[in-house]
Chain A
Amino acid sequence: MNSAALIIIAVFTLAAALAAATLRKLMHAALSLVVVFVGIAALFFLLGAEFVGLALVFIYVGAVAVLVVFTILLTPRDVGKDRGFNWGGAIVAVAVFGGLTWSILNTQSLAVVAPHMPALTVKQIGKTLMTIYVWPLQCVGLLLTAALIGALILVMEEKR
């Protein structure tokens, strides 16, 4: 695992995240979000979870980002600028970050390096999904179906 790569990716991701949180134009923020997810996927690759990284790219960059863009297009009145910025929220966010960092740095058991680990193959993931996690898998399938139908019903035009 390369520290340099980690730092570059982390800085890149966090910068994009900050952009997504603060850019005035909604469309720019949505595109920054895409960059954030690409960065997180890169971090996953770095950690050896290639499959999850790819899934993240497919689902977020491919689907969720498109959904966000569509939503922006479907709510035309507010396209453009987001009025106002709540500085109270910023203070809370900084405080949370401080608290988390402080507690992470003060926990000695977290100062470990990664053990050697055989590569996680897709076959292994598939096997695990289909054996131990088959029940949650089915539940997630059901949930996704329900969410899909629910979303459809929510946006359906009300008939008068």
Chain B
Amino acid sequence: MNSWIVTHLWLVPAEPFAASLAILSVSNTRRKSAAALAVAGQIIALALSVVAFVSTLQTHGFRAVQNFTWFTFGDQTLRLGFVLDPLAAAMLVMITVVGLCIFVFSVGYMAEDKNFTRFFAYLSFFSGAMLGLVIANSLLLVFIFWELVGLASYLLIGFWIERPSAAAAAKKAFITTRIGDMGFFLGVLWLYDRAGTLLFYDNGRGCLEGAGLAMLGASATFVALLIFCGAVGKSGQFPLHVWLPDAMEGPTPVSALIHAATMVAAGVFLVARVYPLFSLGAISGVTSSLTVVVWIGVTTALMAALIAIAQADIKRILAYSTVSQLGLMMVSLGVGGVAAGIMHLLAHGFFKALLFLGAGSVIHGCHGEQDIRKMGGLRRFMPVTFMTYAVGMMALSGMPFFFCGGWTKEEILHATAHWPPSHVPYYLILVGVVLTALYMTRQIIYVFFGNPRVAAERAHESPRIMTMPLIVLAFGAILLSAVLTPAWPWLHGYLTGEPTYFDVARLIQPMLFVSLALVSAGVGVGFWIYRKAGTQDGGRPAEVDPLEYAQPALFRFLANKMWIDELYARTVISFSWMAARLSDWMDRYFWDGLVRGFGAIGQLFGIFTTSVDERGINAGVDETTAGARGLGRVMSTAHSGQIQTYLGAIAIGMLALLLLYAWLA
């Protein structure tokens, strides 16, 4: 019934896991075999993913599940399973392709690191967890892989443990996402309580299918919102976005893999996966839970885009752009454009990985410098990186026609424009599009144009092993647009299960011009503002940002990430401190006194019982002991230490039993 790949879907995440274990078991010095193992595991996973992807092409709306019983307690069975549908298959292919590029890139980028093998073990582990997450057919299994992904990200962000900032960032990421996961877990429990199953699809009995949804009723809103808490944490949505920019402390390939292309996508993926919970009881596509998703997404998208304008660290800019794009995807999901959101997620995976790897290449070329104000003019030193980075920048900015980000962004705008409750998100997103183009232009100008500054003077192009993945990803980002255009929206049809046909006329529509105008405006304004930024004299860092010159207060507000970290430090964290202090005081003086009081009563009682004990009981016990000792002395004579005596005793005992039996019978 099910094809081979469906019944063996678990092999896809198993490969990287196995590779990870194998790498951990080889010696620290065998760097080549570690890299080979990791890449091989990823290639096999990619091959299997492609097989899975091909098998979903057979029919429209293909969905196959493979469920199994994990364990049984009483009459309840807990079942887990794997599902293969277009959503999972597309994610599998995206993760493995992007992952493979990043793995190969890492071989070059991490070549000097002393913990090279450990790095690949973690990376493979992460890849396996992420692959497991997308094919899980049970919310519990999703949660398990979700936490494994979280663990992997913790390990990788804090990979350079000798740096205090890396350790702190790892902790921050772990704890912040944990706050969201708490909600997620409550959602899982609630869902199990109501629906009695955590399987998504189970031949009509799953919690995302008719009967299961009917049992949920009104609680679906709360379950959906609790699950969304997890997504907020993992996908870096406001107000839990604070960990994502700090996570840039990890090695750059990690930032590319985890904090751009795949892991943060898990939140968006999760919302898309349990979308029926969100849309249950929708009136013209609007539910209260989806409304929350939209507003959170809009807030995040706009806020992160604003902050990105004022950042100086090349990776932080990209990190905030990731946060912003994820917000955009959330908006898309919230307004009902599930396919658009997922398409943007897939496209984003490609071009954001490309941008991060490009940034990694730049950092590598500039000997570890991450401050864009100290770079400049790199397009002459690093032509391949520049070209590929430009492709990524165009895709991210949403330049139409040839870059995949453009089509998907347009699709999102299209979906948002027709959201019944309000048009505000639509206009805010338009602003976000302009801002995105603006900060990407700023970054490109600072890094690649103008005169070389401090860090760029001895820059060099990265080795082939690092540029090859960049080229592959750049081609991917361009070629992907072939299946995204409105003229032939193949991917859209693939994800929604609707048939698609070719129609050039749909290519030209108002939204295209809106999008084109906005992006051009963003890029143009960017070039105009920063036209002088790159042309300062060589050698000195560009100290004053043009925006800072014009609006110092606003710039400082943005550069300090809107003081959200400080706000948390003042409110949440200091509240925790206060609570801890109060508990400490209560413990020291109030509870302690109480305990001491009880202790004194106990002591008094003890004095009383001691006297009873010594006078009354001890004497009796002494007598008994003496008696027992005497008896023992008598009995011990039977224990001669002679095994034959023992054996004889056994024989006599057997005889006695025999006689007893005969007498009774």
A–B contact via C-beta, under 8 angstroms: yes
| A88 close to B648 (CB less than 8 A) | yes
Please report which residues of chain B, range 620-665, place their CB below 8 angstroms from some CB of chain A when the two chains form the complex.
644, 648, 651-652, 654-655, 658-659, 661-662
Whether a CB of chain B sits under 8 angstroms from the CB of A15 is: no
| B655 close to A95 (CB less than 8 A) | yes
Cβ–Cβ < 8 Å partners of B658 in chain A: 99-100, 103
User: Considering the chains assembled together, what is the distance between the CA atoms of A92 and B644 in angstroms?
Assistant: 12
| A92 close to B662 (CB less than 8 A) | no
Q: Which residue of chain B is the closest to A93 with respect to CB atoms?
A: B651
Q: Closest approach, in angstroms, between the C-beta of A35 and any C-beta of chain B?
A: 24
| B655 close to A99 (CB less than 8 A) | yes
Cβ–Cβ < 8 Å partners of B652 in chain A: 92, 95
Q: Which residue of chain B is the closest to A107 with respect to CB atoms?
A: B665
Cβ–Cβ < 8 Å partners of A95 in chain B: 652, 655
| B651 close to A103 (CB less than 8 A) | no
User: Considering the chains assembled together, what is the distance between the CA atoms of A93 and B662 in angstroms?
Assistant: 19
Please report which residues of chain A, range 95-133, place their CB below 8 angstroms from some CB of chain B when the two chains form the complex.
95-96, 99-100, 102-103, 106
What is the number of residues of chain A that contact chain B, defined by CB distance less than 8 Å?
12
Inter-chain CB contacts under 8 Å: number: 23
Q: Closest approach, in angstroms, between the C-beta of B480 and any C-beta of chain A?
A: 56
Cβ–Cβ < 8 Å partners of A103 in chain B: 658, 661-662
| A102 close to B644 (CB less than 8 A) | no
Whether a CB of chain B sits under 8 angstroms from the CB of A71 is: no
Q: Which residue of chain B is the closest to A95 with respect to CB atoms?
A: B655
| A92 close to B659 (CB less than 8 A) | no
Q: Closest approach, in angstroms, between the C-beta of B183 and any C-beta of chain A?
A: 48
Q: Closest approach, in angstroms, between the C-beta of A18 and any C-beta of chain B?
A: 18
Q: Which residue of chain B is the closest to A102 with respect to CB atoms?
A: B662
Whether a CB of chain B sits under 8 angstroms from the CB of A76 is: no
A102-B662, A103-B662 known; A89 vs B655 contact (CB < 8 Å): no
User: Considering the chains assembled together, what is the distance between the CA atoms of A102 and B655 in angstroms?
Assistant: 11
Partner of B655, one of A86, A88, A96: A96
Q: Which residue of chain B is the closest to A98 with respect to CB atoms?
A: B655
Q: Closest approach, in angstroms, between the C-beta of B467 and any C-beta of chain A?
A: 57
Q: Closest approach, in angstroms, between the C-beta of A29 and any C-beta of chain B?
A: 16
B-side binding surface: helix, strand, loop or mixed? Answer: helix
User: Considering the chains assembled together, what is the distance between the CA atoms of A132 and B95 in angstroms?
Assistant: 49
Partner of A89, one of B644, B654, B659: B644
| B662 close to A96 (CB less than 8 A) | no
User: Considering the chains assembled together, what is the distance between the CA atoms of A92 and B650 in angstroms?
Assistant: 10
Q: Closest approach, in angstroms, between the C-beta of A89 and any C-beta of chain B?
A: 6
What is the number of residues of chain B that contact chain A, defined by CB distance less than 8 Å?
10
User: Considering the chains assembled together, what is the distance between the CA atoms of A138 and B111 in angstroms?
Assistant: 50
User: Considering the chains assembled together, what is the distance between the CA atoms of A102 and B659 in angstroms?
Assistant: 10
User: Considering the chains assembled together, what is the distance between the CA atoms of A111 and B644 in angstroms?
Assistant: 35
User: Considering the chains assembled together, what is the distance between the CA atoms of A13 and B654 in angstroms?
Assistant: 25
Please report which residues of chain B, range 311-354, place their CB below 8 angstroms from some CB of chain A when the two chains form the complex.
none
Q: Which residue of chain B is the closest to A97 with respect to CB atoms?
A: B655
Cβ–Cβ < 8 Å partners of A102 in chain B: 662
User: Considering the chains assembled together, what is the distance between the CA atoms of A107 and B652 in angstroms?
Assistant: 21
Q: Which residue of chain A is the closest to B650 with respect to CB atoms?
A: A92
Please report which residues of chain A, range 54-102, place their CB below 8 angstroms from some CB of chain B when the two chains form the complex.
86, 88-89, 92-93, 95-96, 99-100, 102
Q: Which residue of chain A is the closest to B662 with respect to CB atoms?
A: A103
Partner of B654, one of A86, A88, A96, A106: A96
A92-B651, A96-B651, A96-B654 known; A86 vs B659 contact (CB < 8 Å): no
| B644 close to A99 (CB less than 8 A) | no
Partner of B662, one of A86, A88, A89, A106: A106
Cβ–Cβ < 8 Å partners of A106 in chain B: 662
Q: Closest approach, in angstroms, between the C-beta of B659 and any C-beta of chain A?
A: 7
User: Considering the chains assembled together, what is the distance between the CA atoms of A86 and B659 in angstroms?
Assistant: 24
A100-B658, A102-B662 known; A86 vs B651 contact (CB < 8 Å): no
User: Considering the chains assembled together, what is the distance between the CA atoms of A86 and B640 in angstroms?
Assistant: 16
> Chain B 91-107 against A: per-residue CB contact (8 Å), 1 yes, 0 no?
00000000000000000
> Chain B 263-294 against A: per-residue CB contact (8 Å), 1 yes, 0 no?
00000000000000000000000000000000
User: Considering the chains assembled together, what is the distance between the CA atoms of A99 and B651 in angstroms?
Assistant: 11
Q: Closest approach, in angstroms, between the C-beta of B641 and any C-beta of chain A?
A: 15
Cβ–Cβ < 8 Å partners of B661 in chain A: 103
Q: Closest approach, in angstroms, between the C-beta of A93 and any C-beta of chain B?
A: 7
Cβ–Cβ < 8 Å partners of B655 in chain A: 92, 95-96, 99
Q: Which residue of chain A is the closest to B656 with respect to CB atoms?
A: A99
User: Considering the chains assembled together, what is the distance between the CA atoms of A53 and B479 in angstroms?
Assistant: 79
User: Considering the chains assembled together, what is the distance between the CA atoms of A96 and B654 in angstroms?
Assistant: 8
Cβ–Cβ < 8 Å partners of A100 in chain B: 658
Cβ–Cβ < 8 Å partners of B654 in chain A: 96
User: Considering the chains assembled together, what is the distance between the CA atoms of A106 and B658 in angstroms?
Assistant: 12
Cβ–Cβ < 8 Å partners of B659 in chain A: 99
Please report which residues of chain B, range 580-621, place their CB below 8 angstroms from some CB of chain A when the two chains form the complex.
none
Cβ–Cβ < 8 Å partners of B644 in chain A: 86, 89
Residues of B participating in the A interface, judged by any CB pair closer than 8 Å: 644, 648, 651-652, 654-655, 658-659, 661-662
Q: Which 9 A-B pairs have the closest CB atoms?
A: A99-B658, A99-B655, A92-B651, A92-B648, A96-B651, A96-B655, A95-B655, A103-B662, A103-B658
Q: List 20 A-B contacts (CB under 8 A).
A: A86-B644, A88-B648, A89-B644, A89-B648, A92-B648, A92-B651, A92-B652, A95-B652, A95-B655, A96-B651, A96-B655, A99-B655, A99-B658, A99-B659, A100-B658, A102-B662, A103-B658, A103-B661, A103-B662, A106-B662
16 further contact pairs, Cβ within 8 A, besides A92-B652, A92-B655, A96-B654? A86-B644, A88-B648, A89-B648, A92-B648, A92-B651, A93-B651, A95-B652, A95-B655, A96-B651, A96-B655, A99-B655, A99-B659, A100-B658, A102-B662, A103-B658, A103-B662
